[in-house]
Chains A and B, each alone.
Chain A
Amino acid sequence: MGSHLLGLRDCSREEIESILDRASYFDGYRNQKLTSLKGLSIAALFFEPSTRTRFSFEVATRWLSGEFYNFSTESSSVVKGESLLDSVNTLKSMGINAMIVRHRASGILQWLSTKISGISLINAGDGSHEHPTQALLDLYTIKKYHSSLEGLKVLMIGDIKHSRVVRSSVTGLKAMGARVTLAGPPTLLPKEFAREGVEISWDIHPYMNDADVVYMLRLQKERQKKGLIPSLKEYTRLYGLNEERLKYLKPGALVMHPGPMNIGVEITAEALKQLEDHNDIRLGINEQVESGVVVRAAVLDYLMGEKPR
């Protein structure tokens, strides 16, 4: 993976493990300011709205004593690769050491990485392609809860087709030895994923009672307007987590969501309420947010921190 984190496809199991180990090391120093990014400047360049991911990177950077600058834009106009490259070069000459980028074009960071040097690139989501830090923090959360990923059964439900989280997670989960099933409506579930060594299903029921992890993906409401699903109501009926379905889950299962959740779509309000004080089944979203900071700190440290430690 070199000095960039473009996607988990470029990462070996050893690299993933090394980042996760580093995250768990940092986990022990949560209330302490660390210094491994001292003197380093990190910029966020987000061309799609996001507060969580950007915030998480900001907190992680400051925690490790790095300087964080935000150059994100909320404007909806499309920024082409060439002007992105201009911005990156400008920031580089201003002394920025790493750039965290989110952009709507799949593959734009791969391209950018061939045009620049002397700066680290971190993918915070490119189109429908990858979102590696989300996948890493999910791996970390699962590992922390289930203690190992080897042989775990992970069921991911929802809009597989447009999800960058899925593309990173499938790679990461497979690398770590988990068994993955992807489920969703036929219009949102490309059959080609079967070639990646995962099961695919239009029906969630056969997999619910056996899953160690149930991962609900966020459904963009515009999928309904584009005619990919008939209604959000029907989506919830077929693929949402409701009270009835909670009963199928096996004790010890972990329910996850990358956030922000559409309550009433991916999960019903009643199911959410039940989950919050469920004895046997755990809702992992708060842990995911917490893991986000330590894992992103680990990624920054892995790519840029003082070596040897």
Chain B
Amino acid sequence: MSKTLLFKNAVVLDPRQSLKAKRDILVEGGKIKKLGSHLQDGGYDEVIDLEGRFIVPGFVDMHVHLREPGEENKETIFSGSRAAVAGGITSLCCMPNTQPPIDNPQTVKYVQERADKANMARIYPLGTITLQRGGDELTSYGTLLEEGVKAFSDDGKMVASSSVMYHAMSYIRKFDALIISHCEEETLSRDGEAHEGYWSSILGLQGLPPVAEELAVARDILLARDTGARLHLAHVSLARSVEWIKWAKEQGIKVTAETTPHHLLLDHSWLEGFNPQAKMRPPLRTEADRRALLQGLKSGVIDAVATDHAPHREEDKSGDFTSAAFGITGLETAVPLLLTELVKPGVISLEHLVSCYSCRPAEILGIDGGTIKEGSPADLVVLDLEAPGRVESRNFYSRGKNTPFEGWKTAGKPVMTVVEGQIKMKEGDLLEG
């Protein structure tokens, strides 16, 4: 039986209700019982005074690699969900490119059981688009949806065959379920290591031509148009992708898109010196792309921020550039970095950050959360917009210490994470059970 909690004196911010005001929140039975001014503070298990702080809907990360089953030396559902609540994330989707992949009910159940046991963030396993992510045969969407799967993705690679993708999108309309597309045309991107541009040319690295992403974005948008399927584009990284998405939305095509904190904050000049922490797919792009992504996020063409949290073992990332694995972690750095680098200087408002990293993702996925309404689940995050911090990977709860942001100073961070009415993180410490 969960406790009754009263959060007092915080500024409650919920873009879905256009709410930004001092309110008290009463939590009971894992749900928000009451939202009001000056609620009586007698008879509760705990009264928490949050004077001067913000309370916002818990963050929802649509794109996380938890690596379990199969690569538990990189991350586990346990370690990843702890990292999530430490970072203010109350719900996340875990990508199905595990070993075995999440393409059958048993694996879905396995992930759900591990998630229940970890008892930290809410974890929504995604299913693959094709069996074994092989690109040939369709996964049983109806069956997996019944098991609680919220969307389907072959993330890590594109569904290479246009015919297979066309049929996947046609079939899935029966359920109005979401397809999440990893946009990289394979024949162009196969051997690539870095954005094809100035830095790859100067350093002699194999280029990933930007048109590889654009082709895939365009193809999947056109397939979504003709099939009517709901399409979500993962980790969009190019100005030209933003243009395509804008066009698609103007046409009424059912498309949404996400970008990552690192594509919003870094460009390919981070490759200088062959920095293996700057190696990821899609790669870091140009400064012009970075600005276009920010603009796209501001204008709403890009709906969501998602980390593409990709933990690796130390040795997978500490070698030379060519041997290094693709990807970086993000769960514990996303909120502090976005608060510091985007909200603080006024690039985007706090409301906007909450909207694209909580409300919109919850809406796109059709899951609970992303709002602070009476009756909705008590998934909450308390933010201190002044609290100083520093990115220190050795303090990560995630097993993956791979981050290009090591040593970055931050101002503003989550100081409390509440999932289903239970305090999971308080001032950086995790509260078990």
Show the binding face of A for B, using Cβ within 8 Å. Answer: 80-82, 84, 104-108, 110-112, 126-130, 161-162, 164, 167, 190, 192-193, 195-196
Contact = CB atoms under 8 A, between A and B. Distances in A.
B162 to A, nearest CB: 21
Nearest to B276: A111
A82 B205 CA distance: 19
A164 B202 CA distance: 10
Interface of B: 197-198, 201-205, 207, 273-274, 276, 315, 319-323
A167 B321 CA distance: 18
Nearest to B193: A106
B197 A105 contact: no
A164 B198 contact: no
Nearest to B320: A81
A106 B198 contact: no
Given A107-B203, A196-B202, A80 B323 contact: yes
A10 to B, nearest CB: 11
Nearest to A84: B320
B204 A130 contact: yes
A104 B321 CA distance: 12
Contacts of B203: 106-107, 129
25 contacts: A81-B319, A81-B322, A84-B320, A106-B203, A106-B204, A106-B205, A106-B274, A106-B322, A107-B204, A107-B205, A107-B273, A107-B274, A108-B321, A108-B322, A110-B273, A110-B274, A111-B274, A127-B205, A127-B322, A128-B205, A161-B201, A164-B204, A190-B207, A192-B198, A192-B201
Listed from nearest, the 10 A-B pairs whose CB atoms lie closest are A128-B204, A107-B274, A81-B320, A129-B204, A105-B322, A81-B319, A192-B201, A190-B201, A106-B204, A111-B320
A279 to B, nearest CB: 39
Given A106-B274, A111-B320, A127-B205, 15 more contacts: A80-B320, A80-B323, A81-B319, A81-B320, A82-B315, A104-B322, A105-B322, A106-B204, A106-B321, A111-B321, A127-B322, A128-B204, A128-B205, A129-B204, A162-B204
A167 B315 contact: no
Contact of A112 (B201, B320, B322): B320
Nearest to A103: B320
A167 B198 contact: no
Nearest to A112: B320
A29 B116 CA distance: 78
Nearest to A114: B273
Contacts of A81: 319-320, 322-323
Contacts of B315: 82
B203 to A, nearest CB: 6
A196 B198 CA distance: 10
Nearest to B191: A226
A196 B201 CA distance: 11
Contacts of A129: 203-204
A107 B197 CA distance: 17
B204 A167 contact: yes
B73 to A, nearest CB: 16
Contacts of A106: 203-205, 274, 321-322
Contact of A82 (B197, B207, B276, B319): B319
Given A106-B205, A167-B202, A192 B321 contact: no
B363 to A, nearest CB: 41
Contacts of A110: 273-274
Contact of A105 (B201, B207, B321): B321
Contacts of A161: 201
A162 B319 CA distance: 23
B12 to A, nearest CB: 48
A127 B204 contact: yes
Given A110-B274, A164-B204, A192-B202, A82 B323 contact: yes
Contacts of A193: 201
Contacts of B320: 80-81, 84, 105, 107-108, 111-112
Contacts of B323: 80-82, 105
A111 B323 CA distance: 11
A193 B199 CA distance: 10
A294 B198 CA distance: 34
Contacts of A111: 274, 276, 319-321
Contacts of B276: 111
Nearest to B271: A107
A192 B198 CA distance: 5
A82 B315 CA distance: 9
B387 to A, nearest CB: 33
Nearest to B319: A81
A224 B203 CA distance: 23
A195 B204 contact: no
B267 to A, nearest CB: 14
Residue among B197, B276, B320 with max Cβ neighbours from chain A (10 Å) = B320
Contacts of B322: 81, 104-108, 127
Contacts of A82: 315, 319, 323
Contacts of B201: 161, 190, 192-193
Contacts of A196: 202
Q: Indicate the member of A81, A106, A127 with the most B CB atoms within 10 Å.
A: A106
A221 B222 CA distance: 39
Contacts of A107: 203-205, 273-274, 320-322
A110 B323 CA distance: 14
A144 B319 CA distance: 41
B191 to A, nearest CB: 10
A167 B200 CA distance: 12
A111 B207 CA distance: 20
B98 to A, nearest CB: 25
A300 B414 CA distance: 55
